Amino acid sequence: MKVSIQGIKGSFHHMVANHYFDSFELNECLTFESLVKSVVNNESEYGIMAIENSIAGSILPNYALIDEYNLSIIGEYSLSIDHNLMCLPNQNITEIKEVHSHPMALLQCSKFFSNYPHIKLIETEDTALYAKNIRDNKISGVGAIASLDASKIYTLQILESSIQTIKNNKTRFVILEKNKNNKMDYDKAALKFILDHKRGSLATVLNMMSDCSLNLTKIQSLPVIQTPGKYAFFVDITFKSIENYQKAVKIIELMAQEFKILGEYKYQKS
């Protein structure tokens, strides 16, 4: 079984793959778009994609990618994110002039680096990727932000551990596949719908969900590019009764201009 991730060995996506799957072959992708394309083109059976972080919020382009490529969400995994500053051995933080990492990691650690104005922060494609680059090219005076696993894989020294601004830092990842498998046992769903642009249309749908005993855990809107002023709503809902959920789906299909089920899966409590 092959699993695509954004990043390389030692990345947080790799950690999720290790937690979620018992055994697999890793397919490393540098971008989220190349990740979804690898699943669409049958290069991998599954993909793992970060979708939101407790500090930085939703990763909006990833919602659009899942929708555009018609992938199905079949599961989720919430991972505690612990960011560590690492470099080649036998250096201290005063010798570090640059730190390279993924933009989300830099954002999540911004408060820590405000105490070190001499350090220049530089964006790269992946947390673990630059850790590997430091090791492979023996780059002194430069650090990376990555996981503890990455420091072990690439034999780097940790200068400071847990440098994220908020210590209870979690990222939710979704497990993707190309073909939707009809599951009998699920209690969470990801939906997308577009409504008429008129007063009360969204409130009516949300009230109906409440009447059907659905619990709205997330709502996110994205502009419909072809129609300025109109928005697509992406919602996550949990429920105890599949019958109530299926009833709500039928009603939304009648109310919405466009409707899609992005995934039905088991809810993972954080």
Looking at the fold, whether 95 and 136 belong to one and the same domain comes out as yes
Q: Taking Cα atoms as reference points, which of 24, 29, 25 lies closest to residue 50?
A: 29
Looking at the fold, whether 76 and 89 belong to one and the same domain comes out as no
Q: Taking Cα atoms as reference points, which of 15, 4, 2, 270 lies closest to residue 127?
A: 15
Residue with tokens 């939703």: 58
Looking at the fold, whether 93 and 28 belong to one and the same domain comes out as no
Looking at the fold, whether 50 and 118 belong to one and the same domain comes out as no
Q: pLDDT band at 128, cuts 50/70/90?
A: very high
Question: Which tens digits make up the pLDDT trace of 237-254?
Answer: 999 999 999 999 999 999
Query: Strand 188-194 and strand 231-238: pairing?
Result: antiparallel
Looking at the fold, whether 103 and 64 belong to one and the same domain comes out as no
Average pLDDT, the chain: 93
Query: Strand 46-53 and strand 215-223: pairing?
Result: unpaired
- 189's CB contacts (< 8 A; 6+ apart) are 236, 237, 239, 245, 261, 262, 263, 264, 265
Query: At 258, which CATH number?
Result: 3.30.70.260
Looking at the fold, whether 45 and 89 belong to one and the same domain comes out as no
pLDDT reported for residue 234? 95
Residue 89 has pLDDT above 90, yes or no: yes
pLDDT reported for residue 181? 67
Read off the pTM: 0.89
Residue 270 has pLDDT above 80, yes or no: no
Sign of the Cα torsion 126, 132, 137, 142 reads positive
Question: Which tens digits make up the pLDDT trace of 7-58?
Answer: 999 999 999 999 999 999 999 998 999 999 999 999 999 999 999 988 778 8
Looking at the fold, whether 91 and 75 belong to one and the same domain comes out as no
Looking at the fold, whether 28 and 50 belong to one and the same domain comes out as yes
> What average pLDDT score do residues 128-157 get?
96
**Domain-located, residue 25:** yes
How many domains does the chain fold into?
3
- 104's CB contacts (< 8 A; 6+ apart) are 50, 53, 56, 59
CA angle 179–63–244, rounded 5-degree value: 65
Q: pLDDT band at 200, cuts 50/70/90?
A: confident
Query: At 119, which CATH number?
Result: 3.40.190.10
Looking at the fold, whether 51 and 73 belong to one and the same domain comes out as yes
**Domain-located, residue 9:** yes
> What average pLDDT score do residues 232-241 get?
95
Residue 134 has pLDDT above 60, yes or no: yes
Domain that residue 126 falls in: 84-160
Looking at the fold, whether 68 and 115 belong to one and the same domain comes out as no
